[in-house]
Structure 1
Amino acid sequence: MIPFSVLDLAPIKQGSDASQAFRNSLDLARHAENWGFKRFWLAEHHNMTGIASAATSVVIAHVAAGTRTIRVGSGGVMLPNHSPLVIAEQFGTLESLYPGRIDLGLGRAPGTDQLTARAMRRDLATAAENFPHDVLELQALLGDVEPNQAIRAVPGMGMKVPLWILGSSMFGAQLAAMLGLPFAFASHFAPQMMMPALREYRARFEPSAQLGKPYAMIGVNVFAADSDREAQRLFSSLQQQFINLRRGTPGQLPPPVDDMDALWSPAEKAGVAQSLACSAVGSPAVVEEKLQALIADTAADELMTTALIYDHAARLRSFEIAAEVRDRLAERSTPP
């Protein structure tokens, strides 16, 4: 059976703050480690009052320091926001502190609105266009030192931190295939191109020193509870966050509600349903059926599960159910 992992945004819920978000993230990571999840990734976002993981490498260090075996990494670092040398040094430092446990997932989106992106990048067009070159530069900085190499990442050189390409389009699939890197598709919020991108990645894949054959991870929202009704209620926090973002009024993660129809228009409902189509929401039996179908349809090598749930205890329970589902699917797929 394929491994399950966790994607976290260190969500700041209404009435709380970043300090509590970081405590919750570490607590979730410790539980995820005990439940057998393979990775715990954090995502870079900026100027979003509901997400605390802007300084992604710092939060990775916080989580890695408080866990023992689970891999910890970025899902992802938005590389055009940074120089490759700085990221090589940051992740070389992380790998030095927590050897064999660090992943470096890379994306080319800004992770924010255009105004904030300009404040970070200055030149938006050039930064995005340089993404493939920056990935190669970063890979070289983390690779073996060449003779007469003038610029070295210290720490970082020779550490070969595993790189991943993240994406929600054909571009990321093609780049990951060309470089022979594992590919993580952002189907948890942009599922439209998932199947074509996976086909493109697998068809074009060229083996590399890091990876001998294609390895595809897909994102899926898992909102699991003891009943379908309660799971759907928990899911309403993410639905509200999506419509607030589209209305240009993003904020902290809102508490769940019983009736979303009182909050959104039919057009907003349809738009959110399209964006969140890759979701498993319901009781354990419903989540199991949906995840089994998703794995069968995509032939994914790994599931990256995520859940922006307002109540921390309910969030823990959702991931615990996901782990139980994983184990049942594994038992079913094991030959007698």
Structure 2
Amino acid sequence: MSASNPTPLSVLDLSPISEGSNAPAALHNTLDLARRVESLGYKRYWVAEHHFVAVASSSPAVLIGAIAAATATIRVGAAAVQLGHNTAIAVVEAFGTLDALYPGRIDLGLGRSGQRRAEALKAAASRGDEPAPRATEIRDGLVIPAPFPTAKLLTSSRLASSLAVLQQPGADAPNFAHQVEDIRALLEGNYKSADGTALHASPGEDADVELWVFGSSAGPSADLAGRFGLPFGANYHVSPGTTVEAVDAYRAAFRPSRILAEPYVVVSADAVVADDDATAQELASTYGHWTHSIRSGHGAIPYPDPRTTPPLTDTERELVDDRLITQFVGSPSTVAERLETLRRVTGADELVITSVTHKHDDRIRSYELLAHEWGIAAPR
């Protein structure tokens, strides 16, 4: 698919721990991958915050600093810092420090965490079961599956235990919109405490940090990003059934700001690219097992080895089918064509690609093949 002015591609890396490996190896793989994709022309390198699972991206600010030090030009950031267990000032000081050391290269993505669980508990108490899902549809070539019912997962005892450890005893997740407002005020130097005292973050104030909001549905995050005039990240790789609605809600709510004159959307996608479709399908054959471990409430397991992992059962596959049919797997031309469909239907200004395979070399190859096919890499 080579294009003269292609839509930018970026990277979302969870620093996955492969079966038989460990966290130090995953982190070294992340640094290696960041250097490789920088040379291939990817625009950003984002990491995601996860805890108590087999991924090594639990401390975004620390990892971002290491990635920025290992690279020279690519933007580096979080997609996203979970505000349910972080204070506004802690986030601003951490990312202000990163900006002071690597000026003009840091992205600060913000997401809800504890807030979503509290909302799910309240909704479950008030209305009981979730409504029956709609059928999967194909919209202008893009697969839009039925939205996955998240209430059971969000109200699981394992998640409750995790959040209890991540927060101070007795603490409640603060209002997401208020936290975003506080972060903006601290960055801009006009923050005042509840009693009216002016407080200034150092480092942090006037930092050249690019602020983002991430969301999976047409809910509070999409609305807030639009009203504040911030760029928005829509998670097709997490919630493919609600991504188009999220993007539409963001654009409907958008108000121009000093940051953006018009909406700016990045849409994520899971992709595995290999030299041919069959090889890619083999490399991606345990993605369903990995996703099932998350969907079933156990958290992400070490990424399974395709050579030794039996196929999913029909019952297991049913739980993750929406994620399997919306993963972009195949040869460079196959994946590029499907990604272009995602870009066209969502109107994305940028695509962020997350590629997970058991072997690190296969992951590097996936990003390399896609970069050349998409047209962001220099000709070989």
- 1:156 corresponds to which of 189, 201, 204: 204
- Compute the displacement of 1:45 (Å): 0.4
- Aligned residue for 1:141? 186
CA distance in structure 2 between the partners assigned to 1:104 and 1:203 by the alignment: 23
Asked if 1:170 corresponds to 2:170, the answer is: no
Asked if 1:182 corresponds to 2:231, the answer is: yes
- Aligned residue for 2:173? 127
- Aligned residue for 2:306? 256
Asked if 1:228 corresponds to 2:253, the answer is: no
Asked if 1:113 corresponds to 2:118, the answer is: no
- Compute the displacement of 1:145 (Å): 4.5
- Aligned residue for 1:214? 263
- Compute the displacement of 1:177 (Å): 0.5
- 2:84 corresponds to which of 69, 80, 83: 80
Unaligned ranges ≥5, structure 2: 1-5, 117-157
**Between 51-60 and 232-241, the greater mean CA deviation after superposition:** 232-241
CA distance in structure 1 between the partners assigned to 2:369 and 2:65 by the alignment: 27
- Compute the displacement of 1:247 (Å): 3.6
- Compute the displacement of 1:150 (Å): 2.9
Asked if 1:67 corresponds to 2:112, the answer is: no
Q: Contact 1:242 / 1:272 at 8 angstroms: preserved in 2?
A: yes
Which structure has more relative contact order (CA 8 Å, sep 6+)? It is 2
Superimposed CA distance per residue, residues 13-39 of structure 1 (whole angstroms, 9 cap, x where no aligned partner): 112111111110011000110000000
CA distance in structure 2 between the partners assigned to 1:139 and 1:315 by the alignment: 36
TM-score (norm 2): 0.81
Matches within 5 A, 1:317-336: 317-327=365-375
Unaligned ranges ≥5, structure 1: 332-336
Q: Contact 1:182 / 1:215 at 8 angstroms: preserved in 2?
A: yes
Q: Contact 1:287 / 1:325 at 8 angstroms: preserved in 2?
A: no
Superimposed CA distance per residue, residues 150-189 of structure 1 (whole angstroms, 9 cap, x where no aligned partner): 3221100111411100110112211110111101011102
- Aligned residue for 1:197? 246
**Between 66-75 and 317-326, the greater mean CA deviation after superposition:** 317-326
Asked if 1:269 corresponds to 2:317, the answer is: yes
Q: Contact 2:40 / 2:377 at 8 angstroms: preserved in 1?
A: no
SS at match of 2:375: helix
- Aligned residue for 2:36? 31
SS at match of 2:266: strand
Query: In proportion to residue count, which structure has more helix?
Result: 1
SS at match of 2:68: helix
- Compute the displacement of 1:222 (Å): 1.1
SS at match of 1:127: coil
- Aligned residue for 1:334? none
CA distance in structure 2 between the partners assigned to 1:208 and 1:55 by the alignment: 30
- Compute the displacement of 1:114 (Å): 2.1
- Compute the displacement of 1:276 (Å): 4.2
Q: Contact 1:223 / 1:282 at 8 angstroms: preserved in 2?
A: yes
Sequence identity, in percent? 40
Asked if 1:316 corresponds to 2:364, the answer is: yes
Letter in 2 for 1:67: T
Q: How many residues align?
A: 327
CA distance in structure 1 between the partners assigned to 2:356 and 2:332 by the alignment: 18
Q: Contact 2:41 / 2:377 at 8 angstroms: preserved in 1?
A: no
Q: Contact 2:233 / 2:265 at 8 angstroms: preserved in 1?
A: yes
Q: Contact 2:273 / 2:370 at 8 angstroms: preserved in 1?
A: yes
**Between 149-158 and 298-307, the greater mean CA deviation after superposition:** 149-158
Q: Contact 2:270 / 2:328 at 8 angstroms: preserved in 1?
A: yes
CA distance in structure 2 between the partners assigned to 1:124 and 1:295 by the alignment: 43
Superimposed CA distance per residue, residues 84-133 of structure 1 (whole angstroms, 9 cap, x where no aligned partner): 000000000000000000000010025982211122125899415x1110
CA distance in structure 1 between the partners assigned to 2:377 and 2:61 by the alignment: 33
- Compute the displacement of 1:329 (Å): 11
CA distance in structure 1 between the partners assigned to 2:38 and 2:368 by the alignment: 11
- 2:46 corresponds to which of 36, 41, 56: 41
| CA-based RMSD | 2.4
Letter in 2 for 1:256: P
SS at match of 2:206: coil
TM-score (norm 1): 0.91
Q: Contact 1:309 / 1:315 at 8 angstroms: preserved in 2?
A: yes
CA distance in structure 1 between the partners assigned to 2:108 and 2:376 by the alignment: 30
Letter in 1 for 2:37: A
- Compute the displacement of 1:322 (Å): 1.4
- Compute the displacement of 1:233 (Å): 1.4
